[in-house]
Amino acid sequence: MRTANIACARSIAIKRPIRLGAASALLLACAVSVGVGAAMAAPPMPAQPVVPLNADPVFPFSNEIDAFARANAAGPPVRDATLFLGSSSIRLWDIAGSFHDIGTVNRGFGGATTAHVLHYYKRLLPAVPPRSVVVYVGENDLAAGATPDAVTRDIVTLLKKLRADYPRAPIAFLSLKPSPIRWTLRPKMAQVNAAVASRAKADGFVYLDVGTVLLARDGLPDASLFRPDGLHMNARGYQRWTGLVDDWLDHVAPPRPAAEKAS
């Protein structure tokens, strides 16, 4: 290409002065000539394989969902277990270590909205029916821009599905928690919490307020209970949740000697 450019420049220099229009035409001809030569010299691009699009609109969660299926098939099912279902607040909770005297199944996956949980619902269920169920979802929905009414509808839909599938299991919905980084969402969270709580008795579940224990004396989220990201709780924060949920479980589903602990 450099040789072609020099040749074109020399061709212009050795001729008598020409009008601007002719010079422009000559430069254009040189550029076209260079482009054609480069195109002819370049090796043909190899054919690119056609990659089929993934039909699953929430593909990023597939690995986690597959892991749940592998856990179901890995060994004997955990009987008389409490199912913990929801987003990263469930996933990051050391469920087995926090509830030593009962069997547990953790089905939390990070970043999940209620719509994601509903999408994967059947694949999230344990191999055998749980003795009780604890649910935390909805916070990510609001953070993604969903309205409180839409979030409430999805949460109630999920809780109704769980009630229909497990008619005898006590079910608890954990209130949307306050956190430093999402404090501006607090009014919308309060709206969802109030709406869900109002449906608890009619729809057969219990509403547990797990947000108040995360507030400092000034009414703001206690930063000492959260990780540096200001969103997820640390061990001290989870201790607060464990105490509340453990008290509820002791009341509605006291541990049985034969209960197996989740691995």
Residues 72 and 29 in one domain: no
Does residue 185 sit within a domain?
A: yes
Residues 206 and 78 in one domain: yes
E strand spans, the chain? 81-86, 103-108, 132-136, 171-174, 206-208
Residues 130 and 234 in one domain: yes
Alpha-carbon distances, residue 172 vs 85, 158, 241, 248 (angstroms): 10, 12, 13, 9
Per-10-residue mean pLDDT for the chain, 263 residues long? 40 42 44 43 47 44 83 84 96 95 93 94 94 98 98 98 98 98 98 98 97 98 97 98 97 70 46
Residues 106 and 75 in one domain: yes
Residues 128 and 225 in one domain: yes
Does residue 257 sit within a domain?
A: no
The reported pLDDT for the residue numbered 44 is 52
In the chain, the number of structural domains is: 2
Does residue 77 sit within a domain?
A: yes
The reported pLDDT for the residue numbered 73 is 80
Does residue 163 sit within a domain?
A: yes
**β-strands 81-86, 206-208: how paired?**
unpaired
The reported pLDDT for the residue numbered 60 is 63
Domain of residue 163, CATH code: 3.40.50.1110
Does residue 143 sit within a domain?
A: yes
Residues 101 and 24 in one domain: no
The reported pLDDT for the residue numbered 69 is 83
The reported pLDDT for the residue numbered 71 is 83
Q: Which domain holds residue 30?
A: 2-41
Residues 79 and 37 in one domain: no
